[in-house]
């Protein structure tokens, strides 16, 4: 699916270039990137007080005090189906659903009331044991051929409580007992071979959130998998590595588009196309790694690590700034050899007969090198920020 979409996009852009339609060509590369066009609807449900809203905020990388955060409290705070778009990826939407079995959302009418068909999958959350309503909901979701996942929230509270009570406390044994109790309870209510993910919404890097991400990665179609991956918070080094891998897989597509721009002998067209494309792609990298200013400020608020400290570990000049053409030109000029390749491309296109193929090859190589270099540096910064904030 992704390969077919990329091929169609390149074909459209090449046609615009062949028509010498400079505004159209530049406009096309500035359209939203592929994953930004993919809608992913995630339903978060469970009984009232289970921690749904807190989980929604954690998944989106926001604190309860941030604008647009889901309200939380000891009582049921969700009284209607409420969408919470991801701050950087608005097409990735977490839907905070009212508790199962509340007066306005009885269990037997629940899926009908929440319009289940629009959701890609359901996360069923419980703060202790899963109840009969949770199981009825799971069975109905399964009957309607949707995916669901059991998440046991507030695991950190249980660990702290057990640690206070026992002098011979063992965290792994406690986690195993919590999980086994949930699994046995679900089996007793009719769920065969249930998988339960233990999660702390305040410390996603602990317990089973990583396993939940891996399971979603396995179950989702490829195009939605990448959208979810980029929207995920950087809760461990592995997720940063996966993001880098997914973003790197599209670099050849962008380099091919750059080569198409070099094929047309219109003064300045290739550079304009390249710079417009690079602004969008590099901005995507910054957002995916959570290195934009707002993401870093939200991370600071969640972890208590001062923003200045997070900013201090960043080395790339492309992080924690607004990406624009003037900034990219400055950075590229500093690269020396890459800037020389760009200059050579402009000169070579005017060589009779062989000039255009040479320019296309140089344009492909230059864009490929630039994006790989920028991606490597930003991934390194994401690792540095993670270590400063959470390790």
Domains and their CATH numbers in the chain: 2-31+242-390 (no CATH), 36-233 (3.40.50.300)
Please give the Cα distance from 379 to 382 (Å, whole number).
Answer: 5
Helices H, strands E: what count in the chain?
A: 17, 6
What digits encode the pLDDT tens for the residues 95-119? 998 877 666 777 777 778 888 889 9
Residue 5 has pLDDT above 50, yes or no: no
C-alpha 141: how far from chain center: 25
Q: Please report the pLDDT score of residue 2 as a whole number.
A: 45
Structure tokens given for 323 = 């990406």
Mean pLDDT score, 149-163: 94
pLDDT greater at residue 340 or residue 71: 71
Q: Which residues contact 335 (CB under 8 A, 6 or more apart)?
A: 370, 373
Q: Please report the pLDDT score of residue 140 as a whole number.
A: 87
Q: Please report the pLDDT score of residue 8 as a whole number.
A: 52
Q: Please report the pLDDT score of residue 354 as a whole number.
A: 76
Q: Please report the pLDDT score of residue 256 as a whole number.
A: 87
Instruction: Check: CB of residue 83 under 8 Å from CB of residue 157.
Output: no
CA proximity to 128, closest of 154, 165, 150, 149: 154
- Residue % of the chain over a pLDDT of 90: 52
What digits encode the pLDDT tens for the residues 22-69? 555 555 554 544 555 789 999 999 887 888 999 999 999 998 888 889
Confidence of residue 264 (pLDDT cuts 50, 70, 90): low
Q: What is the mean pLDDT of the chain?
A: 84
Residue 236 has pLDDT above 60, yes or no: yes
Phi, psi of 57 (to 5 degrees): -65, -45
Q: Please report the pLDDT score of residue 27 as a whole number.
A: 54
Please give the Cα distance from 51 to 72 (Å, whole number).
Answer: 8
Residue 315 buriedness (CB in 10 A; 0-12 / 13-18 / 19+): exposed
Residue 238 has pLDDT above 50, yes or no: yes
Residue 285 has pLDDT above 70, yes or no: yes
275 φ/ψ sector (left φ>0, alpha ψ -120 to 50, else beta): alpha
Q: Please report the pLDDT score of residue 4 as a whole number.
A: 45
Q: Please report the pLDDT score of residue 218 as a whole number.
A: 94
What digits encode the pLDDT tens for the residues 342-377? 666 666 666 766 767 787 888 888 899 999 999 999
Confidence of residue 86 (pLDDT cuts 50, 70, 90): very high
Residue 82 has pLDDT above 60, yes or no: yes
Mean pLDDT score, 172-189: 95
Residue 76 has pLDDT above 70, yes or no: no
Range in 71-75, 128-132, 287-291 with the lowest mean pLDDT = 71-75
What digits encode the pLDDT tens for the residues 201-221? 999 999 999 999 999 999 999
Angle at 265 between CA 260 and CA 270, to 5 degrees: 50
What digits encode the pLDDT tens for the residues 326-342? 999 899 888 877 766 66
């Amino acid at each position: 699916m992704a390969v077919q979409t990329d091929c169609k996009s390149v074909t459209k852009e090449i046609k615009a270039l062949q028509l010498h339609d400079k505004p159209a060509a530049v406009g096309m590369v500035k359209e939203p990137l592929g994953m930004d066009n993919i809608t992913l609807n995630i339903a978060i449900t469970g009984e009232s007080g289970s921690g749904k809203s807190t989980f929604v905020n954690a998944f989106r990388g926001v604190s309860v005090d941030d604008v647009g955060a889901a309200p939380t409290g000891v009582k049921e705070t969700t009284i209607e189906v409420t969408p919470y778009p991801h701050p950087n990826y608005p097409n990735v939407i977490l839907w905070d659903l009212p508790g199962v079995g509340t007066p306005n959302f009885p269990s037997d009418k629940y899926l009908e009331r929440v319009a289940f068909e629009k959701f890609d999958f359901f996360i069923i959350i419980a703060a202790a044991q899963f109840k009969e309503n949770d199981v009825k909901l799971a069975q109905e979701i399964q009957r309607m051929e949707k995916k669901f996942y059991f998440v046991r929230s507030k695991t950190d509270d249980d660990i702290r409580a057990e640690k206070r009570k026992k002098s011979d406390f063992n965290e792994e044994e406690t986690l195993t007992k919590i999980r086994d109790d949930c699994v046995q309870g679900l089996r007793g209510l009719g769920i065969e071979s249930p998988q339960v993910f233990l999660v702390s919404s305040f410390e996603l890097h602990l317990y089973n959130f990583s396993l939940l991400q891996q399971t979603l990665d396995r179950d989702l179609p490829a195009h939605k998998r990448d959208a979810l991956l980029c929207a995920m918070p950087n809760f461990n080094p592995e997720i940063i590595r996966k993001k880098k891998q997914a973003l790197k897989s599209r670099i050849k597509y962008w380099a091919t588009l750059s080569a198409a721009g070099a094929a047309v002998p219109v003064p300045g067209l290739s550079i304009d196309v390249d710079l417009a494309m690079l602004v969008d792609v590099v901005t995507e990298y910054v957002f995916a790694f959570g290195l934009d200013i707002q993401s870093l400020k939200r991370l600071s608020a969640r972890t208590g690590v001062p923003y200045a400290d997070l900013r201090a570990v960043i080395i790339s000049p492309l992080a924690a700034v607004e990406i624009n053409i003037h900034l990219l030109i400055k950075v590229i000029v500093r690269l020396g050899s890459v800037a020389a390749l760009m200059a050579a491309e402009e000169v070579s296109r005017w060589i009779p007969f062989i000039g255009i193929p040479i320019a296309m090859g140089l344009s492909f190589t230059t864009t490929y090198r630039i994006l790989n270099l920028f991606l490597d540096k930003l991934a390194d910064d994401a690792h540095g920020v993670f270590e400063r904030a959470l390790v």
